[in-house]
Chains A and B, each alone.
Chain A
Amino acid sequence: MSGVLVVLDESGRAIAEGLRLARERGESVTGLFVYERGWNVYIGHDWLLGSNARATFMEYIEEHEQAAEADLRARFLAAAGDTPVTFTAICCDDLEHLTDAVIREARESGASLIVCADPLVRGLSQRRGGTAALVRGAPCPVALVGQALAA
């Protein structure tokens, strides 16, 4: 199944552009939310932290991720209006970068185009190479939606 895969992030910049491109190409559109699971490795330097404090932090991050999913799902569906769209939430594993999971999903779903905000404001992606790895590894063209420049 081919279609446009819109990577959802906190900036929300990719949503409108993804929907527009999908209408233009006459293709289906899927909003993709990826749960960040890299925190356990990222905070690997907290050697002397108590286990309770680490667990509390991981629960806190999980709450944030769930809230982000709910928020982005609502924003995506509201922006789509009457356009039929699909929303998918997936998890990257704790060794994957968030963009690796996007590439995996694009490959498995046979996406024809990925639309993604640049910079990608989700989880640890800004600390981990952002969209560069996505552009390098994507199985299909990637449309990056940057910040609008002031006139």
Chain B
Amino acid sequence: MEDKGVFGKIIAILPGLALMVGTLWVLRTWVEPWMANTVLFGQKGWLVKVLSLNYILLAIIVGMLYRNLLFGGKIPAWAEEGFRTTRLFIKAGVIMLGSLYTIQSLAKVGGIAILLIMTFVFGTIFFVMFLGRLMGMDRSLIGVMAAACGVCGVSAAVATSPAVKAKPSDVALVIATILGFGIMTMFVSPFVGKALQMSDYQFGAWVGTGILNSGQVLATCLAFNPTIAPGTAVAYGEIWNVVRVISIPFVVFFITMWFWRAEAQAEHLSLAGILKDKFPIFVIGFFGMTFLSSVGAIGAEGSNTLHLMRDVMSWIFGIGLVGQGAYIDIREIKTAGGKPLKVGLAAGCLKYVVALLVVMFFVSKESSF
């Protein structure tokens, strides 16, 4: 591959990045205010109040339209480098989200989050293993599907597949299945949350537990409530998300042990090795921000610094979510099928509905911080 040098790489990023930033600017400056004032079916702001459309959902929808209609299914070369910065935006945003918490507030909800996440992660893994074996699926495919449904979708599937020697074609199928389910829940969940009058705390806990893919948890929380501040859906949802992300190496270890136990050529496994290879380092940045927030290094609540930081975060996530939409290829998702689709849908729906019931019955509406 041609080496463009640092300057060349920056230039290559600009067109796609400009498209993402420009799209978000138009959505926030023109489209969202227009929707809030437009009268439809005799109600002012019907699009916002009834359809729950805000700039976050619109960012994803427009990103999807770019990829699937305007670009004909492939991100063009001139935009690709820019769209690829999506990952950087989301990770930077998640690190900055650490500033919404203090060590004390994390201690308050952390216990519930860990309990709920671990119960659902391993409950889903066991369910997929049971159903997969019942349906005669290949063990490596079961392992990848269990990780994807249990932890956080694409990230877990990618982390697990080398360890269980999954066929690349199977990994692609699992990813298509997970994304299809996740996109459906991303659009449905805000309606359900509002229809059931869930609090931000309950909503964050629910989608953080029940939605399969990390990026979709973030998008769904922001679609429910686009405000980024302590006590909002994204603040709660992201705690659940971070706990899930941290659990990836442990889940990979568990599934790898399960896989190789039945294989003749057992591989040497070490939890330390898997932790070193799979631990997402950016999580340390998240907790670093929480530490700075706890010692008051980034200003008190209501300060200009925090106000500016949250404004920047809303832009960072918005830009990243345009990119998220542009990575959704409807044609790829439509190819999902067969046993993986059945098992994935069964596990995904079960987790989604049971998480909703648990949150509605056992998690109070009042926020913990």
B232 at the interface (CB under 8 A from A): no
**Is A126 located at the chain interface by the 8 A CB criterion?**
yes
Answer whether residue B162 sits at the interface, using C-beta atoms and an 8 A cutoff: yes
A61 touching B168 by the CB < 8 A rule? yes
Which of B74, B76, B152 interacts with A48 by CB under 8 Å? Answer: B152
Which of A23-31, A36-44, A69-77, A142-150 lines the interface with chain B?
A36-44
CB pair B245–A95 under 8 Å, yes or no, is: no
In chain A, what residue has the closest Cβ to B83? A44
Contacts of B277 in A (CB 8 A): 50, 52-53, 56
Interfacial chain A residues near B276, Cβ < 8 Å: 52
Is the beta-carbon distance between B80 and A47 smaller than 8 angstroms? no
Which A residues are CB-close (under 8 A) to B213? Answer: 45
Kindly report which residue of chain B lies nearest to residue A122, judged by CB atoms.
Answer: B169
A127 and B327 CA atoms in complex are apart in Å by 14
Q: Are B280 and A50 in contact (CB under 8 A)?
A: yes
CB < 8 Å A-B pair total: 110
B133 vs chain A, min Cβ distance (A): 24
- Residues in A neighbouring B68, C-beta threshold 8 A: none
- Residues of A contacting B245 in the complex (Cβ-Cβ under 8 angstroms): 48
Task: Looking at the assembled complex, report how far the CB atom of B60 sits from the nearest CB atom of chain A, in whole angstroms.
Answer: 12
Residues on A with C-beta less than 8 A from B324 are 45, 47
Quick one: which of B77, B162, B168, B214 contacts A47, CB cutoff 8 A?
A: B214
**A57 to B324, alpha carbons, bound, how many Å?**
21
B176 interface residue, CB < 8 Å from A? yes
**Residues of B144-185 whose CB lies within 8 A of A:** 152-155, 158-159, 161-162, 167-169, 172-173, 175-176, 179
Kindly list 11 other residue pairs between chains A and B, CB separation below 8 angstroms, not including A41-B80, A123-B169: A43-B175, A45-B179, A45-B327, A46-B155, A48-B90, A48-B282, A49-B158, A50-B159, A50-B282, A95-B80, A127-B335
Binding site for B on A (CB under 8 A): 36, 39, 41-54, 56-57, 59-61, 64, 95, 97, 121, 123-124, 126-129
